[in-house]
Structure 1
Amino acid sequence: MSTTALPTRRAPDRFAILLMVGLCAIWGLQQVAIKSTNAAVPPVFQAGLRSAIASVLVWAWARSRGTPLFRDDGTLGAGLLAGVLFAAEFICIFLGLTLTSASRMAVFLYTAPCFTALGLHWFVDGERMRRIQWLGIIVAFAGMALAFADGFVHAGPGASGAQGSTLAGAAGDALGVLAGITWAATTVVVRGSRLAHTSASKTLLYQLMVSAVVLLALALGLGQARVENVTPLALASLAYQAVIVAFVSYLLWFWLLTRYIASRLSVFSFLTPLFGVSFGVLLLRESFSAGFLIAALLVLIGIALVNAPAKRQAV
């Protein structure tokens, strides 16, 4: 991928920071929504339906605003690649979760900001990271790892749900890392290609349409293309995933990528698993310890370091 000259993006301001925190909360709650729907709709089919529904919503939104979606603007190749990467991320997540625990998956998945920063540093002009920002990523990742390590300790070495020590668990962990890499690669493709010059609606539609086709085909191949035991909660959860997460939140995310430095935005993703644990405490009555609070503080410190203002002579 060549280093294409792109419009200047700025560091996140107060509005962008508040919006990113809200998006992370939405993404954290998604884990509860997925669990609430699994009994009615298998995971891969669930992801495919979410992408398909959101595709229709994005198309309708763009049409209502007169945003051109099918004009030849040289984004087809990058758009298809972003869509395949987007689908691969969810394939890795859902298949990985059959082999390893959700907590371990979260640890490895949310290495994505580190891979994003590396990819942007290498391939995209204007996304160079300073030493203090690299330190922020390390501190935030350490805090996130501590948060989930605390959960592993309290599970106990003989807990029936403990995984990761077997070959299957290691494979699931590897899929979590691969999901983080594909998530990061999607961001790099969006920022380092002609997609950076197109509308957020078109960028998102590429990913949703391609992922819908790939995920629904995979669900069919795996025998997951079925719906059973449908409840109002399952329908509400699927609607939350399709409308709030895949449509509204992703559209806002790609809009932010067109205006702010992507590496500074991506580090906020560390908040998502912390929100996920918090919602688990509130909605699933899970417990947490002082270790979790310390971990959350480390994550916030890391985010503050990554978003530290540059010195006057910094380029």
Structure 2
Amino acid sequence: MSTTAALPARRAPDGFAILTMIALCAIWGLQQVAIKSTNTFLPPVFQAGLRSAIAAVLVWGWARARSTPLFRDDGTLGAGLLAGMLFASEFVCIFLGLTLTSASRMAVFLYTAPCFTALGLHWFVDGERMRRIQWAGIIVAFAGMTLAFADGFARARGDIHGSMLAGLTGDALGVLGGVAWAATTVVVRATRLAHSSASKTLFYQLAVSAVVLLALAAGLGQVKVAVLTPIALVSLAYQAVVVAFVSYLIWFWLLTRYIASRLSVFSFLTPLFGVTFGVLLLGESFSLRFLLAALLVLVGIALVNAPAQRRSA
């Protein structure tokens, strides 16, 4: 079913949108470090569920303060439940993946999401078509991701202890997380959720994922807490308040005003922030091959966004 007639016109990112996306990418890049630093004190799936639950309560309070209806029957329940399940799947992959691979590598592999988002929107949403130069950018960025995976295989070769092989599993979970994130974005844009407020769209995802993740944590025997340090508490607060509440509200607000595929490709900046934070805060290291992979991703961003910048000139 086409949604063109009912959807408001969306435009290419302007200066405000670009600066906002850069700030969001820095926030999301730091998220991987926050999650990994807390995995020692809170089991990963339980941590993810707590994060969603806290953020869902904050979104409910925000919507109530602004008199934004969250529970009105507007035909979005099915799409909202699907988006919430996909959102939960994404964070299962992220939180479990970070027990197996570094925050730097997770940041790179998770952000294959814009590639899958652009492909999904191209096929399922009118007005989100990609031009040839944009496809070239997607291909270059995907080449960077492939090179990063090849770097992992090279490191795993001959590893008798299996730690590198476990790292490759973590890398693969990062890619699966990216696929789930992309699918969530497509569901939001291709269904009646496109007409909903940012608060309601986000509440669906947080509330459903909180239930799913906490139930899964209980089933896995992960509902337990080790000694919580101040760093762990700050990390959990950062994930729930800054990332899951503030940054996601801004992200969904941007999606109502700008072309989603053009916004999504800016997410390729997040791996660069993620690698930087991983090195500076966790002491992680990376190879020259991995650095080249990240640079290819940056070139992909430039190619995908060049037409939009020329058109607005």
| Same fold, TM-score > 0.5, yes or no | yes
Counterparts in 2 of 1:57 and 1:87: CA distance versus 1, 3 Å: same
1:37 corresponds in structure 2 to 38
- Say whether 1:278 aligns with 2:283: no
Task: Give runs of aligned pairs for residues 44-55 of structure 1, distance below 5 A.
Answer: 44-55=45-56
Match for residue 239 of structure 2 among 241, 263, 266: 241
The answer to whether the 8 Å contact 1:37/1:237 transfers is: yes
Task: Give runs of aligned pairs for residues 1-315 of structure 1, distance below 5 A.
Answer: 2-5=1-4, 6-97=7-98, 105-146=106-147, 157-158=158-159, 162-164=163-165, 174-288=172-286, 294-309=292-307
CA distance in 2, matches of 1:36, 1:175: 18
- Deviations along 1:117-168, whole A, 9 cap, x unmatched? 111111100000001001111222333444565577578854857434xxx7
Residue 171 of structure 1: how far off its partner (Å): 5.9
- Deviations along 1:89-132, whole A, 9 cap, x unmatched? 11233344556666665554322212111111111000000010
CA distance in 2, matches of 1:105, 1:160: 21
Residue 66 of structure 1: how far off its partner (Å): 1.5
Q: Specify every segment of 5 or more residues in structure 1 that has no aligned partner in the other structure, as ranges.
A: none
Residue 189 of structure 1: how far off its partner (Å): 0.6
CA distance in 1, matches of 2:21, 2:157: 34
Residue 299 of structure 1: how far off its partner (Å): 2.6
Counterparts in 2 of 1:82 and 1:9: CA distance versus 1, 3 Å: same
The answer to whether the 8 Å contact 1:141/1:270 transfers is: no
- Deviations along 1:235-294, whole A, 9 cap, x unmatched? 000000000010011111111111111111111222222211100121123345655554
**Superposed CA RMSD:** 2.7
The answer to whether the 8 Å contact 1:144/1:274 transfers is: no
Q: Percent identity?
A: 81
CA distance in 1, matches of 2:196, 2:69: 10
- Which moves more between the two structures, 190-199 or 282-291? 282-291
CA distance in 2, matches of 1:118, 1:223: 38
The answer to whether the 8 Å contact 2:104/2:274 transfers is: no
Q: TM-score, normalised by structure 2?
A: 0.88
Q: TM-score, normalised by structure 1?
A: 0.88
Counterparts in 2 of 1:51 and 1:243: CA distance versus 1, 3 Å: same
- Which moves more between the two structures, 288-297 or 178-187? 288-297
- Which moves more between the two structures, 122-131 or 133-142? 133-142
CA distance in 1, matches of 2:147, 2:168: 19
CA distance in 1, matches of 2:308, 2:16: 19
Give the SS at the match of 2:307: coil
Give the SS at the match of 2:186: helix
The answer to whether the 8 Å contact 2:36/2:98 transfers is: no
